């Protein structure tokens, strides 16, 4: 018996692995080191600014130093929970999973229907972009607040704050471009699920044309897509939060 080729296991962030699975793509591991990839992403002005931040004289510690404490930890936790809640409770992503199932008698007597051809990915794309913007704004504000606190600590931490600010400016546009491609990948997944449901209905009609009372269409494919989209958003949140986690680790160690 012929066996389907196995895709190679992909390492890296959950977001990359999840998108590769949903796009049904066999993504090869990059052989470049992180330093090599960064050298391609940084412009020459960014490279100079980063070199100055790393090799130059440590910046003076800002006045008004205060100890890192519970308030910052709680704010980071609050922001993350707020974003997770926004993803989990979004009305577009909840969809039919919030609606109660109709009585059995109603389902049995329902007419034969086709796949919902009116299901439009544009609505989901708009929601994804809106949630991305919420993440970028909230996390950017939090990151700036942690940098401001770092700048009041030891010179080494003040240097880290400068390096992080340089990296955010240098890689911000690249990050927006890469993450901006995610809705397009999800759009392909949406269409594949929709087409798969249409084929299922057509095949069921061809093999069981006499059972005219049984409804054939299902919203299961759409609910599966909503769940996948939420998983991608949560994985993206993890990626976006990594710089915050790094700044928090530095503050905890001081």
Q: pLDDT in tens for each of the 254 residues of the chain? A: 334 344 455 556 899 899 999 988 766 666 777 777 777 787 878 888 888 888 877 777 766 666 677 888 899 999 999 999 999 999 999 865 444 444 433 333 334 444 444 578 999 999 999 999 999 999 999 999 999 999 888 888 989 999 999 999 988 988 999 999 999 999 999 999 999 988 888 887 777 655 554 555 678 899 999 999 999 999 999 999 999 999 999 998 87
The residue among 253, 251, 248 whose CA lies nearest residue 77 is 248
Residue 122 falls within a domain, yes or no? yes
Question: Can you read off the two tokens belonging to residue 24?
Answer: 């049904």
CB 67 within 8 Å of CB 246: no
CB 192 within 8 Å of CB 55: no
As for how many domains the chain has, the answer is: 1
The string of DSSP letters for 189-227 reads: HHHHHHHHHHHHHHHHHHH-TT-TTS----SHHHHHHHH
Burial of 58-93, coded b for 16+ CB within 10 Å and e otherwise, reads eeebeeeeeebeeebeeebeebbeebeebbeebeeb
Question: How far is CA 18 from each of CA 24, 174, 187, rounded to the nearest angstrom?
Answer: 10, 20, 14
Cβ neighbours, 10 Å, residue 157 = 22
Q: How far apart are CA 225 and CA 93, in angstroms?
A: 9
Residue 120 falls within a domain, yes or no? yes
Helix (H, G, I), strand (E, B) or coil at 154: coil
Q: How far apart are CA 205 and CA 219, in angstroms?
A: 17
pTM of the complete model: 0.81
Q: How far apart are CA 111 and CA 49, in angstroms?
A: 67
Residue range(s) defining the domain that contains residue 185? 63-97+111-253
Residue 192 falls within a domain, yes or no? yes
Residue 9 falls within a domain, yes or no? no
The residue among 206, 213, 223, 238 whose CA lies nearest residue 83 is 238
Residue 212 falls within a domain, yes or no? yes
Residue 198 falls within a domain, yes or no? yes
Question: Can you read off the two tokens belonging to residue 226?
Answer: 């909503």
């Amino acid at each position: 018996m012929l066996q389907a080729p196995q895709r190679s296991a992909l390492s890296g962030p959950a977001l990359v692995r999840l998108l590769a699975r949903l796009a049904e793509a066999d993504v090869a591991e990059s052989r470049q080191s992180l330093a090599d990839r960064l050298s391609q992403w940084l412009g020459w002005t960014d490279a100079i600014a980063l070199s100055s931040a790393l090799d130059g004289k440590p910046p003076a510690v800002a006045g008004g130093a205060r100890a890192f404490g519970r308030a910052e930890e709680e704010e980071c936790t609050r922001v993350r929970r707020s974003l997770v809640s926004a993803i989990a409770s979004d009305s577009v992503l909840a969809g039919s999973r919030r609606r109660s199932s109709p009585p059995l008698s109603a389902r049995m007597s329902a007419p034969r229907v086709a796949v919902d051809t009116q299901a439009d990915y544009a609505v989901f794309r708009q929601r994804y972009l809106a949630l991305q913007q919420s993440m970028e704004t909230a996390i950017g504000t939090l990151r700036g607040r942690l940098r401001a606190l770092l700048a009041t600590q030891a010179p080494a931490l003040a240097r880290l704050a400068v390096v992080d600010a340089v990296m955010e400016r240098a890689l911000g546009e690249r990050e927006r471009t890469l993450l901006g491609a995610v809705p397009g990948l999800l759009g392909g997944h949406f269409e594949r699920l929709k087409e798969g449901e249409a084929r299922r209905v057509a095949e069921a009609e061809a093999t069981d044309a006499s059972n005219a009372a049984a409804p054939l269409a299902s919203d299961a494919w759409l609910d599966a897509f909503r769940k996948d989209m939420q998983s991608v958003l949560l994985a993206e949140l993890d990626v976006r939060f990594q710089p915050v986690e790094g700044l928090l680790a530095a503050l905890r160690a001081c």
